């Protein structure tokens, strides 16, 4: 009896995932992100996020193939600084991703809030956020398959909207894997839709092959943006942004922000080196420099200090998203458009 139990460790569970949309969290170019409830046995419920891909993209075979391929690739990315993917599903011909729900804000929302209050993000928190992003990247870049072969994951779209801060203070990188698929995505004019032009690495901006160092440049742009309260590479159009990424002299950040000292300026310049050979070659190197910078004087920022700061800024229980009725109507209309 005992032996039989031991032998039957491998088994499968056939079940169905049941999700109910609670509210819409975000509507973007690629799809809509909802807060949803997953239902299990005996009234078990769990809140999570669901991203539904737009129909017009679902119809693009190459995009969907890459989207699915990448979703498979990131399925096993399990790290505190990465939004975890739970499930890639299909319902009525529409693909969706179920993922960890982050109750918090993205960096763009944080920046908008700070602008409204005419406040600057404390320098140490800016460095802390960038350090957590490099921590997530270091894990993803180093990820191997079960045989130990490197997966060669590059995010390709590290930008302020793809970095979330939970009200508990955790920093989470999202939109993993979708970024690569996006490279195969065509808009209505048949042009390939790229990542956010003002966070792109020079390699991306000049359509060259990218590797993990590309993500470090983008993280440098995120850090510079957090410090300055604006993205120095952002132009009025994506073309102008791309041009700045490729040509604008990288400024001496000490002249733009008095809180930046020689050391932090050097970190920024090393991350923002246009020549990948001059840049940090691994996320780990950048992580070490950032952590050294905030911790070598003793106590530095933590998830707790960041969480407290964000909660103070947004209020303890921030209202977010739209009403359930609206979300349901929105979901229904998205689903009904699938044949159109």
Long-range contacts: 178-183, Cβ < 8 Å, 24+? 178/30, 178/67, 178/70, 179/70, 179/155, 180/66, 180/70, 180/154, 180/156, 181/63, 181/66, 181/67, 181/69, 181/70, 182/30, 182/156, 182/157, 183/66, 183/156
Among 174, 219, 225, 231, binds ligand ADP (CB under 6 A): 174
CB of 28 to Mg ion, least distance (A): 6
245 binds, among ligand ADP, Mg ion, none (CB under 5 to 8 A by kind): none
SS3 content of the chain, % helix, strand, coil (to 5): 45, 15, 40
Q: Of 23-31, 69-77, 118-126, 135-143, which part binds ligand ADP (CB under 6 A)?
A: 23-31
30 binds, among ligand ADP, Mg ion, none (CB under 5 to 8 A by kind): ligand ADP
Q: CB-wise, 45 or 144, nearer to ligand ADP?
A: 45
49 binds, among Mg ion, ligand ADP, none (CB under 5 to 8 A by kind): ligand ADP
Q: CB-wise, 164 or 283, nearer to ligand ADP?
A: 164
Q: CB-wise, 101 or 222, nearer to ligand ADP?
A: 101
Does 175 contact ligand ADP by CB under 6 A?
A: yes
Among 81, 85, 106, 131, binds ligand ADP (CB under 6 A): 106
From the CA atom positions of the chain, what is the Rg in Å?
A: 21
Q: CB-wise, 23 or 308, nearer to ligand ADP?
A: 23
List 157, 175, 198, 289, catalytic entry? 157
Reply yes or no on whether 157 is catalytic: yes
**Rounded to the nearest 5 degrees, what angle is found at the Cα of 237, between the Cα atoms of 248 and 111?**
80
**Which residues inside 40-59 make contact with ligand ADP, applying CB under 6 A?**
49, 51
Residue 294: how many CA atoms within 13 Å on its side-chain side? 19
Nearest CA to 140 out of 228, 217, 81 is that of 81
Strand pairing class (171-173; 18-27): unpaired
Helix (H, G, I), strand (E, B) or coil at 50: strand
Contact residues toward ligand ADP (CB under 6 A) are 25-26, 28-31, 33, 49, 51, 83, 99-102, 106, 161-162, 164, 174-175, 178
Question: So which residues are the catalytic ones?
Answer: 157
């Amino acid at each position: 009896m005992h032996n039989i139990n031991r032998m039957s460790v491998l088994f499968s569970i056939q079940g169905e995932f049941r999700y109910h949309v609670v509210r819409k969290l975000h509507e973007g170019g690629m799809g809509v992100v909802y807060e949803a409830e997953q239902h299990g046995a005996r009234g078990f419920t769990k809140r999570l996020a669901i991203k539904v891909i737009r129909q017009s993209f679902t119809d693009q075979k190459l995009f969907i193939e890459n989207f699915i391929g990448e979703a498979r690739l990131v399925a096993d990315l399990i790290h505190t600084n990465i939004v975890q993917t739970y499930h890639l599903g299909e319902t009525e011909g529409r693909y969706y991703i179920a993922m960890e729900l982050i109750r918090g804000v993205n960096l763009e929302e944080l920046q908008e809030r700070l602008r409204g209050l005419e406040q600057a993000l404390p320098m140490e928190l800016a460095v802390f956020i960038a350090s957590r992003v490099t921590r997530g990247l270091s894990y993803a870049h180093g990820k191997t398959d079960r045989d130990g072969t490197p997966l060669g994951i590059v995010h390709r779209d590290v930008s302020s909207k793809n970095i979330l801060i939970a009200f508990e203070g955790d920093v989470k990188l999202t939109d993993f894997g979708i970024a690569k698929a996006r490279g195969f995505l065509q808009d209505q004019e048949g042009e390939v839709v790229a990542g956010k032009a003002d966070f792109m690495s020079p390699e991306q901006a000049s359509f060259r092959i990218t590797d993990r160092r590309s993500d470090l440049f983008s993280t440098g742009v995120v850090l510079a943006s957090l410090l300055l309260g604006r993205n120095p590479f952002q132009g009025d159009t994506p073309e102008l942004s791309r041009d700045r990424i490729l040509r604008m002299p990288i400024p001496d950040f000490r002249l733009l922000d008095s809180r930046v000292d020689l050391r932090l300026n050097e970190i920024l310049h090393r991350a923002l080196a246009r020549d990948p050979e001059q840049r940090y070659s691994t996320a780990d190197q950048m992580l070490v420099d950032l952590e050294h910078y905030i911790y070598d004087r003793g106590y530095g920022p933590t998830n707790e200090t960041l969480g407290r700061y964000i909660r103070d800024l947004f209020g303890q229980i921030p209202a977010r998203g739209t009403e359930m009725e609206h979300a349901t109507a929105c979901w229904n209309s998205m689903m009904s458009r699938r044949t159109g």
